[in-house]
A and B are shown apart, each in its own frame.
Chain A
Amino acid sequence: MPEYTLRIRRYDPQSGDAPRWDTHTVDLSPVQSVLDAILKIKDDEDGSIGIRCSCQQAICGSCGVRMNGKPGLACNTHLEEAAQRGHGTGWNPPDEGQETPVITVEPMGNMPVIRDLIVDMDAVHWKKIQRVTPWLINKEPVPEREYIVPHENMVDVTQTMACIQCGACVSDCLAMEVDPLFIGPAALAKAYRFVGDPRDADHRERLHDLSEDPHGIYDCTHCFNCIDACPKGVAPMSQIMRLRRVAGSDYDINDRNNGYRHEHAFVKNIRKNGLLHEADLLPDSYGGKFNPRAVPELISSLPTAATALARGKMTPRTVLGHPHKAPPEVKKLFDTIDGKQQRYELNLYVSGYEDEPEATETEEQS
């Protein structure tokens, strides 16, 4: 069987010692898991390695760690796959003199380390889950018997229900890295589970709360890390975008964070111009050039604008007017589609993918 080298980050905050890296070599099949390797090392070499684990079947969500820089469950990541991850990067340097593939195992990010690979899920993850009222608020009167929910509504929330609370998405959330108060991907995905449930009585209240919170739905920076991190296909960022869609388009919640205004200003801008006119978008995102909210923003951007004008990056013509206007066909698409009473959406998590098409001419040429 092939050998793998595991570099495990060891740290005990209470000891006063700095973190260190321990290296162990294991002899295991490529399709055994990183957790198998860690448990073998614990059994054979060093029983003091701290890791949380239980089911070993990717359902309890206990064994979230970072492997070669990427978060996931140690129990459902094959050694072979972990070794391949981040190949050639700092975590997994190119094979210069290395005899065996290296897998660097670290605790998850954005959460304090309790010991070695164990992070404090309470301090960050669970607090944020509690923040979003993670239970159903019944409509009154509660039906005496079963509450019949339309099938399509239930299918709609199954994606968020697949979450096993492992924290992998929280670990690599880039918005949380700069704003630790951001409610974050796991909790917001949980929030959609109730906003998408027709039995819940407080959709508007929930959305209002999540939109008005400066660390709420409009703090997500679209980095897609949570989508790649999730071992269960929850796609938390997509759920956050759905929360925004429902808050902005169905409930017209005009939040204090400019989320609603920015979205509507953007749509209006493209409907009018076809191509984005940035000089209009900025003030419009704050409510318009003469809005008291926009004035400090516009003043603070004056030095940048002056430099940009001086360098020819912007010209008075591109700032004041826009050389491009949307063709009438584009305007018509906006009016027809955006004017529909019911939005038409495709959720690939529910519909699945049709078989790949035969290679087309363009693909062959490329």
Chain B
Amino acid sequence: MRVAYWPGCVSRGFTPELHGSMAKVAPLLDIELIELDRAACCGAGVIAEHNQELADTLNARTFALAQQTDGELMMNICSTCQGAQSECQERLDANTDYREHVNSNLSDEGLRYERGLSNKNFLWLLVENIGLDELKSRVKRPLTDLRVGPFYGCYIVRPVDRLGVDEEHPRDRYLHWVIEALGGTVIDYAGVYKCCGFPIITMSKEASLKQAGRHLGDAIDADADCLVVPCPLCHLNLDLQQPVASKVVGRELGMPVLHLPQLVGLALGLSPKELGMNKHIVRPTSVIDWSTSVVAGAPS
């Protein structure tokens, strides 16, 4: 399937391994990525906090660019983008006058957003468009005995109404399902739906890293081998800042944190290095050791 692909900023900035691993995983799932390279930052909630019309216009512009492609839908790989864009889209779709007003800001560029774009995080696309059975059939190296803690974060599961989490689409279970479909073991721990703390890292560093540190500690106590996150900003607090978080909570951590496409790629037969795991601050030793222990069993 062809999708209009919005990688976001951080996946091309401080977590380059995310964008890189998505590019490697996409062809293995027959996803053709049409990159929206003219689009701008979603604002991560900060621009909306500063000026709602500005954030809504920037995202309407991204949506309009996506609608110009022949992609079936728009796909992102960042929960924060998903949350911030869904919030803007909710306003744009709810009110014709407002949408027209925002569209008038884009008219100089000849762009226009039409109501009803489908914008999905890679996680949603995996479950809802590709399907777990199809995903399972493509697994070359099942994640047998790999104990994975899902870390949903906030922007992809709340508020439930805006993000379409309902009985028909239990999107707050999808990470669990994907880990299972890839053959891994889901680890339940206290932090599954909590906040990584990243949004206040510059404002209230201790409170921010206490959150990250606690969730990592809880995952260690639950004997997880690694965590998986659908959001690069969570990755910054949980991986990049983990050594500092360890000092804040006063305990040794050392919990590897994988991006969702990395976990998928691992099961689809790619090596940790191809997936950029060597770029992490916390070396995913447990994952690499696991992958070398099962590599002999992987069909070519």
| A-to-B contact residues, CB < 8 Å | 84, 87-90, 174-175, 177-179, 182, 214, 218-225, 227-228, 241, 244-245, 248-249, 257-259, 262-264, 266-267, 270, 274-278, 282, 285-286, 300, 303-304, 307-308, 311-314, 318, 324, 326-327, 329-330, 332-334, 336-338, 340, 343-346, 348, 351-354, 357, 359-360, 362-363, 365-366
Contacts and interface: CB of A to CB of B under 8 A. Distances in A.
Contacts of A182: 207
16 contacts: A90-B188, A178-B197, A178-B207, A219-B207, A221-B211, A228-B160, A263-B46, A266-B46, A276-B44, A304-B243, A308-B240, A312-B279, A313-B279, A337-B105, A351-B94, A359-B116
B49 A360 contact: no
A286 B203 CA distance: 9
A337 B54 contact: yes
B87 to A, nearest CB: 9
A241 B57 contact: no
Interface stretch (B14-22, B250-258, B286-294): B14-22
B117 A362 contact: yes
Given A221-B195, A221-B199, 20 more contacts: A218-B200, A223-B154, A224-B158, A224-B159, A249-B51, A257-B204, A267-B47, A267-B50, A278-B14, A303-B243, A311-B278, A311-B280, A313-B14, A313-B17, A313-B279, A337-B53, A343-B53, A344-B52, A363-B118, A366-B118
B109 interface: yes
Contacts of B40: 270, 274-275, 326-327, 330
Contact of B57 (A264, A308, A333, A351): A333
A275 B101 contact: no
B124 to A, nearest CB: 9
B159 A257 contact: no
B116 A348 contact: no
A332 B40 CA distance: 13
Contacts of B10: 276, 278
B274 interface: no
A251 B31 CA distance: 48
Nearest to A222: B199
Nearest to B204: A219
A45 to B, nearest CB: 31
A335 B115 CA distance: 26
B83 to A, nearest CB: 8
Task: Specify the main secondary structure of chain A where it touches its partner.
Answer: helix
Interface in B1-21: 9-10, 12-17
A87 B280 CA distance: 34
A178 B203 contact: no
Interface size of B as a range:
35 or more
Nearest to A334: B54
A348 B67 CA distance: 25
A84 B9 CA distance: 37
B126 interface: no
Contacts of A179: 204, 206-207, 210
Nearest to A331: B40
Contacts of A245: 49-52
Contact of B202 (A90, A258, A346): A258
B58 interface: yes
B214 interface: yes
B281 interface: yes
B223 to A, nearest CB: 15
B50 A282 contact: no
A178 B199 CA distance: 14
- Which 3 pairs between the two chains have the least Cβ-Cβ distance? A224-B158, A276-B9, A360-B116
Contacts of B52: 245, 343-346
A304 B47 CA distance: 27
A87 B176 CA distance: 13
B54 A313 contact: no
A337 B192 CA distance: 38
A218 to B, nearest CB: 4
Contacts of A220: 200
Nearest to B74: A362
Contacts of B98: 346, 351
B81 to A, nearest CB: 11
Nearest to A303: B243
B128 interface: yes
